[in-house]
Amino acid sequence: MAEVMLRGVAKSFGQTRAIEGLDLTIADGEFVVLLGPTGAGKTTTLRLVAGLERPDAGRVLIGGEDVTLAPPSARDVTFVFQQYSLYPHLSVYENLAFPLRSPARRMGKDEIKRRVEATAKLVRIDHKLESRATRLSGGEMQRVAIGRALVRQPAIYLMDEPLSSLDAKLRAEMRLELKRIQQELGATLLYVTHDQIEAMTMADRIGILKDGELIQIGTPRKIYTEPRNTHVATRLGQPAINLLPQGLLPDAGLPAGTKTVGARTEHLRIEKSANGQADGVVDWIEHLGDQNHLHVKLGDRKLITLSPPDTPLAPGDKVMIRYNNPLCFDADGNWLGGRAQ
């Protein structure tokens, strides 16, 4: 395990700029998740660390050593691809043993067997060691792919949306598994996803990428409560944060310069209006079982928030809405710091 650093890294594909001036340090033993939409440069960042792409500018350091020009085999990394990148004609055992059989390692047969079996147990595929890779289900294939990365102890594990092809239940399980495995091994891990739940639950730090630039990096809590701008704020939270223009609701006491108010469920107090005075009308209620999504119409705007399953509100009800320490952004969408009131 080692510290990994990207310094001023840039990469373009033809006219398309994939990464621009990226500075990123992943500490030894840290789990960093890069979060962003498709085309934000997440995968390119991973491939640059792996050596599958060469940067146009900047440097890549692994364990203090400059590996900017080194091929993937010379870097001590493992990579889990988004696709099931198994060797299709080999058994699960042979797939897991493949990285260990590299002549550069000169690992003994018994040692390989021990490591493969331990890893198979870790990713819960030990009952299928003799199966052919192509005979597995999607979830099993991806567990083998993850296992093939874990079978070595590299400087850093790189994972490109490894869970996106799994069904919801398995994804939830694997999320916990991966975090457990990472903590057990004390592994350094750079993980790419567009799923905010994966980012929130597994990351030590989340990096928000947009159009090839790292907008903000920090602990999940910090990114959630202190987003640098409206873009970061919309990446996290379910339902998505409501961005309302200043003045739409009574908002005395907000910092000067506030142009946009960001309100998540916890930033809003909603009550049925008693005296005929109202800020909005309940449009409809989505019942999700354990909770409801409350859609409220504010003139020509709409606001979506969570409400308890036993909410007394019904569509058509007039409601009073008050802010409770919302996030405030200036005209450029930048967070104004501190909290209101």
Partner 1 sequence: MLKTPRRLAKKVEGLSDRAVAWLFIAPTMALLLAINIFPLFWAIGLSFTNYRANRPNEAIANVGLRNYERILTDPDIWIAMQTTANFVFWTIALQTVIGFGLAFLIDRKFRGHAFWTTIILVPMMLSPAVVGNFWRFLYQPQIGLFNYIVSFFTGIPPSSFEMLGSVQLAPWAIIIVDTWMWTPYVMLICLAGLRSIPDYIYEAAEVDRASPWRQFWSITLPMALPFIMLAVLFRGIENFKMFDMVNLLTGGGPGSTTEVASITLKREAFEKWRTGYSSAFAIILFVAVFGLANIYVKALNRVKQR
Footprint on this chain of partner 1 (rule: CB under 8 A): 50, 52, 71-73, 77-79, 81, 83, 85, 87-90, 98-99, 102-105, 132, 134, 148
Tokens at residue 34, please?
A: 């890069």
Residue type, 74: A
CB of 87 to partner 1, least distance (A): 6
Pick the closer one to partner 1 by CB: 136 or 217.
136
The least CB distance from residue 99 to partner 1, in Å, is 4
78 or 265: whose CB is closer to partner 1? 78
Proportion of the chain in helix, strand, coil states, percent, rounded to 5: 30, 30, 40
The whole-angstrom separation of Cα 229 and Cα 194 is 18
Q: In 3D, which of 201, 153, 154 has the Cα closest to residue 33?
A: 201
Of the pair 104, 256, the CB lying nearest partner 1 is at 104
Residue 206 to residue 208: CA distance in whole angstroms: 6
Q: Is 72 left (phi over 0), alpha (psi -120 to 50) or beta?
A: alpha
Minimal distance, residue 72 CB to partner 1, in Å: 5
Q: CB-wise, 53 or 279, nearer to partner 1?
A: 53
Tell me the closest approach of the beta carbon of residue 237 to partner 1, in angstroms: 33
Q: How far is the CB of 175 from partner 1 (least distance, A)?
A: 23
Q: Which two tokens stand for residue 310?
A: 């036993």
Cα angle for residues 66, 23, 207 (degrees, 5° grid): 125
180 contact partners, CB below 8 Å, separation of at least 6: none
The single-letter code of the amino acid at 137 is S
| Smaller CB separation from partner 1, 72 or 237 | 72
